[in-house]
Amino acid sequence: MYTYMHNFPAFYSPYATGFSPSPFGGFMLALLPFIAVIAVWTILIKGYALWHAARAGQKWWFIALLVINTLGILEIIYLIWYSPKGSNKFNSRAPHTPAHHSSPQA
């Protein structure tokens, strides 16, 4: 009863090294760390851009940023050029002014 698959490991993949007869056997396995880094980067920059769009009340930008996946390119464009001025560190072009103290001047 179903003994024809008993020699395969639990996490078998035809793309893993040693299991594939093709010359690109380990290629997909080698890409896994790169894919993981890209996924984390995309989640972080998308969350940051979505937060700014929601805080600014920009509904159409929020929808576009949520639906369109460009590995962070659209999010960076939004944060640099289209988010409200002074709302983030990417587009704040005005120099930082120190806070005024309420202590009396002599």
Is the pLDDT assigned to residue 96 strictly greater than 50? no
pTM of the predicted model as reported, rounded to 2 decimal places: 0.58
Of the two residues 47 and 7, the one the predictor is more confident about is: 47
Structure tokens at 61: 């930008």
Asked if the structure places residue 4 within a domain, the reply is no
Confidence at 19, pLDDT banded by 50, 70, 90: very low
Alpha-helical runs (H) found in the chain? 27-56, 59-67, 73-77
**Side chain identity at 91, as an amino acid letter?**
N
Boundaries of domain holding 73: 36-82
Asked if the structure places residue 70 within a domain, the reply is yes
pLDDT, tens only, 29-67: 778 889 899 999 999 999 999 999 999 999 999 999 999
As to burial, measured by CB atoms within 10 angstroms (0-12 exposed, 13-18 middle, 19+ buried), residue 22 is exposed
**Side chain identity at 12, as an amino acid letter?**
Y
Asked if the structure places residue 71 within a domain, the reply is yes
> What pLDDT is recorded for position 30?
75
Asked if the structure places residue 23 within a domain, the reply is no
Asked if the structure places residue 13 within a domain, the reply is no
Asked if the structure places residue 101 within a domain, the reply is no
Domains: count for the chain: 1
